[in-house]
Amino acid sequence: MIVAEDVHVNFRTKLFGPMVRALNGLTLEVREGDFFALVGRNGAGKSTAMYCFLGLLRPTSGKVQIMGQLPELGSRLYKNVAYLPEEPHYHLYLTVEEATRYYTSLYGKHVSNKTINESLERLGLAEFKTLPLAKCSKGMKQKVGIAQCLIHQPKVLFLDEPTRGLDPLIVREFRETLQEIHQRGATIVMNSHVLSEVEMLANRVAIIDRGTVVVQDELQNLLTLDQELYRVVFEANGTVPDYLNAVEHTGNLVRAFLPKARLGDFLELVRTSGLLLQECSLKKASLEESFFNLVKGEATLTENENGNREVSVS
């Protein structure tokens, strides 16, 4: 559906300034029906990648395709595409209602007043519809962006930090709306710093660092990064096996991590030496931990001899 092959983007910030390498061989694939999240630290190249997908930025080299076509500004391809920018670069001289009407009318289809009003009502903008965008808060502008994105029920959505500046009530409703749209079959590409949000919504994730994709996989696979460890809590009677990691002592209570491979040995020890085991659970990993491990280079994704992917944490 969306393919980027070895995309490089270099540009100068000033006329004679140094060359900035925004994307450095970015390669990724978004499949139809994916809820795809691009995550990475500031300046990693997430927004630049999105600009390339949308045709707003021409790659220095490499190829980008959406639905088998090169993204060209304003082409028919965009009939089924919606974009929510990170920064509110809107037509600030228009009012909330006018901007929503204008952006939706650019799809060349008639949108009734009722639909626009309902959309504004749903996002809590009805009472501000005559307010110029220039006088709106960042959150309100973001809501206008969301309204113009969703009215046409697009097949592909590009969302750049979509919940930035929104109040918690709207964030929740917006997430539910996105899930609804995704369930209807839309493909969604989202940039986000909020990793808990990505965990809630996305089914596939690409972690980008320094303009290149560090890892691109199903969210579930990324969440198993640390699942090779068990967390154990036990009362020690003098014996603490040397294969335990990150051992913490609180009185005679021991908290530690147990490698999966040594689970049998440990349980045998518990049985024979009479350790009082209070807890033994598979360590629940979060995307945040996986992200840190991958970006800091403490984890790698490799393929084993069966062709399956394995994550190893150093």
- To the nearest whole angstrom, how small is the minimum distance from the Cβ of residue 269 to other proteins? 59
Q: Which stretch binds other proteins (CB under 8 A): 31-39, 75-83, 182-190, 223-231?
A: 75-83
Q: Edge-to-edge strands of the sheet including 61-66? A: 19-30, 2-12, 61-66
Cα–Cα distance measured from residue 208 to residue 193, given in angstroms and rounded to the nearest whole number: 12
From candidates 44, 57, 125, 222, binder to other proteins by CB under 8 A: 57
From candidates 68, 74, 168, 185, binder to other proteins by CB under 8 A: 74
* Sign of the Cα pseudo-torsion (312, 32, 37, 231, in order): negative
Nearer to other proteins by Cβ, of 61 and 312: the residue is 61
Residue 61 interacts with other proteins (CB under 8 A): yes or no: no
Residue 35 interacts with other proteins (CB under 8 A): yes or no: no
> For tokens 């021409």, what's the residue?
58
Residue 43 interacts with other proteins (CB under 8 A): yes or no: no
- To the nearest whole angstrom, how small is the minimum distance from the Cβ of residue 133 to other proteins? 10
* Sign of the Cα pseudo-torsion (294, 297, 300, 301, in order): positive
From candidates 110, 114, 130, 246, binder to other proteins by CB under 8 A: 110
Residue 40 interacts with other proteins (CB under 8 A): yes or no: no
Residue 114 interacts with other proteins (CB under 8 A): yes or no: no
Nearer to other proteins by Cβ, of 82 and 201: the residue is 82
Residue 240 interacts with other proteins (CB under 8 A): yes or no: no
Residue 36 interacts with other proteins (CB under 8 A): yes or no: no
Residue 54 interacts with other proteins (CB under 8 A): yes or no: yes
Residue 87, C-beta contacts closer than 8 angstroms, at least 6 positions apart: none
Q: Which of residues 152-211 bind other proteins (CB under 8 A)?
A: 158
Closest to 192 in 3D by CA, of 176, 217, 175, 177: 175
Residue 56 interacts with other proteins (CB under 8 A): yes or no: yes
Q: Which stretch binds other proteins (CB under 8 A): 33-41, 81-89, 163-171, 291-299?
A: 81-89
Residue 1 interacts with other proteins (CB under 8 A): yes or no: no
Cα–Cα distance measured from residue 275 to residue 206, given in angstroms and rounded to the nearest whole number: 43
Residue 73 interacts with other proteins (CB under 8 A): yes or no: yes
Residue 107 interacts with other proteins (CB under 8 A): yes or no: yes
Nearer to other proteins by Cβ, of 132 and 165: the residue is 132
Contact 215, 294 (CB under 8 A): yes
* Sign of the Cα pseudo-torsion (238, 244, 249, 250, in order): negative
From candidates 35, 78, 230, 234, binder to other proteins by CB under 8 A: 78
> Strands 245-250 and 212-218: what pairing?
unpaired
Output b/e per residue, 175-198; b: 16+ Cβ within 10 A. eebbeebbeeebbbbbbbebbebb
- To the nearest whole angstrom, how small is the minimum distance from the Cβ of residue 97 to other proteins? 12
Long-range contacts of 115-123 (CB under 8 A, 24+ apart): 115/151, 116/147, 116/151, 119/147, 119/150, 119/151, 120/96, 120/147, 122/173, 123/147, 123/170
Output b/e per residue, 277-286; b: 16+ Cβ within 10 A. eeeeeeeebe
User: In the complex, which residues of this chain contact other proteins (CB under 8 A)?
Assistant: 11, 47-48, 51, 54-58, 72-79, 81, 83, 85, 87, 89-94, 98, 102-103, 105-108, 110, 132, 148, 158
